[in-house]
Structure 1
Amino acid sequence: MAVLTFLPSRRRALALAAALLAAGVLTGCERGAPGAGGSRASFKGVDITGADYARQLNLNDPDGKARTLAEFKGKLVVVFFGYTQCPDVCPTTMGELAEVKRSLGSDGAKVQGIFVTVDPERDTAELLKAYVANFGPDMLGLRGTPEQTQAAAKEFKVFFSRVPGKTDTSYTIDHTAGSYVFDTQGRVRLFVRYGGGGKALAEDLKTLLAETS
């Protein structure tokens, strides 16, 4: 199942994960890949080829330009939902993707990383733009209104929930920790769990690129 981050206790994490799994919210378990099948390739990540979710993403970039998945056809797209004040999972995931892109050499330009903030109230356009730039000039940050963010998360079956802090602005966010990979035709193909490692992701991206060569 997908990984939930920043839960204050192991007991709460297990209880929340169990509840969400029962409700069908968490994504990425082998049997829980609706519509999967038909793909002959062997992947390290969870093959969700043919899934009836994660089909569209319509949000603005930090410059206010509307962006969609369709504009990236011809590239592999890796989509991750997180927030800029995330202390470990988010920067680790983005840093790992940046390293994978570098390891692919010239093929790295064929991989588009997209970071969708689940915290648009704190992640201003300026902050989001600066954050994704830390991981490479071609990394893209997307944000929307709270309502648009909820809709995007629902489309991707991504869970997120605010955990109150000592002040109104010191909260953290529990969220699904995993990435979605789209092939060069814009079809969702993989759910990559957090912690799988850059080597495994690189191998899966090479496999997908080989489909078009």
Structure 2
Amino acid sequence: MTDPTPRERGRRRLPVLRYALWFLVAAVLALLVLVWTFGRAEMEEVTQGAEPYGTAFRLTDQNGAEVTEAALRSRPTALFFGFTHCPDVCPTTLYELSGYQKALKGEGKDLGIVFVTVDPERDTPEILKTYVGALSPDITAVTGTPDDVAAMLKGYGAYARKVPQGDDYTMDHTASVILLDRAGRFVGTIAYGENPETAKGKLERLVTL
């Protein structure tokens, strides 16, 4: 009996190599599934065990109706603090959020946007209604007395400060968007100027929690 030639030995090895490659691919896929599953389970465990974020408050929306913390505990919500005289951060952020909101709604997913003014002395319900009405009918704009708004901002860890500007003033304030799940629990933030794809991914994940 003659020994197999190098070509014959190579042919015999091909099925073995093919099976080894498929086994390696299957093992990698299984590992990825396990990482995703345990990572998601860990996130759900953390959010389910957390208390709702922030404190109780009673303010007024753009339609003159009372708004309480319940508005942040009924649906996944992007909470943003700003003011209507803001030259760039606020209109840009609200415009981007409303765009994400519309895109998610088109996919059958629900995202609430709550805009709380840090300038209640100028931002009346009527002014807020005009301001957000041009962006989306599904943005809740909130104002109230200066003391009530200040207490709400403090309860949600937001910063705001009046800055003199000649005979007028502007407002320095927290520029990040706070993300709350449907039970009002904190799950993260979106920074001003954050990569659009990253921001979109955070919101897509938010509406599934």
TM-score higher than 0.5? yes
Q: Is the 8 A contact 1:160 1:176 kept in 2?
A: yes
Alignment of 1:65-144 (within 5 A): 65-71=65-71, 73-107=73-107, 110-144=110-144
Q: Is the 8 A contact 1:55 1:187 kept in 2?
A: no
Aligned with residue 177 of structure 1, among 150, 175, 181: 175
Alignment correspondent of 2:160: 160
Aligned equivalents of 1:39, 1:165: Cα separation in 2: 50
Count of residue pairs the alignment pairs up: 167
Code of the aligned partner of 1:137 = P
Tell me by how many angstroms 1:144 deviates. Answer: 0.9
Aligned with residue 200 of structure 2, among 195, 199, 202: 202
Tell me by how many angstroms 1:191 deviates. Answer: 2.2
RMSD of aligned Cα (Å): 2.6
Tell me by how many angstroms 1:188 deviates. Answer: 2.1
Tell me by how many angstroms 1:108 deviates. Answer: 6.5
Aligned with residue 40 of structure 1, among 39, 42, 52: 42
Unaligned runs of 5+ in 1: 1-37
Q: CA distance change for structure 1 residues 93 and 57 in 2, over 3 Å: closer, same or farther?
A: farther
Q: Is the 8 A contact 2:115 2:142 kept in 1?
A: yes
Alignment of 1:1-16 (within 5 A): none
Q: Which protein shows a greater Rg? A: 2
Q: CA distance change for structure 1 residues 54 and 74 in 2, over 3 Å: closer, same or farther?
A: closer
Aligned equivalents of 1:203, 1:112: Cα separation in 2: 16
Q: Is the 8 A contact 2:59 2:144 kept in 1?
A: yes
Alignment correspondent of 2:60: 60
Code of the aligned partner of 2:103 = S
Q: Is the 8 A contact 1:73 1:184 kept in 2?
A: yes
CA deviation map 1:21-68 (0-9, x unaligned) = xxxxxxxxxxxxxxxxx98349xxxx9x94785244431112221112
Normalising by structure 2, report the TM-score. Answer: 0.71
CA deviation map 1:98-121 (0-9, x unaligned) = 111122243466111111001111
Alignment correspondent of 1:15: none
Unaligned runs of 5+ in 2: 1-39
Code of the aligned partner of 1:199 = E
Code of the aligned partner of 1:106 = G
Query: Does 2:186 align with 1:188?
Result: yes
Q: Is the 8 A contact 2:176 2:192 kept in 1?
A: yes
Aligned equivalents of 1:163, 1:74: Cα separation in 2: 35
Aligned equivalents of 2:173, 2:51: Cα separation in 1: 21
CA deviation map 1:146-202 (0-9, x unaligned) = 0001101100111111111221xx211111111111112222221222111332222
Normalising by structure 1, report the TM-score. Answer: 0.69
Aligned equivalents of 1:57, 1:201: Cα separation in 2: 28
Code of the aligned partner of 1:80 = F
Identity of aligned residues (%): 35
Q: Is the 8 A contact 2:55 2:152 kept in 1?
A: no
Code of the aligned partner of 2:42 = R
Q: Is the 8 A contact 2:120 2:143 kept in 1?
A: yes
Code of the aligned partner of 1:94 = L
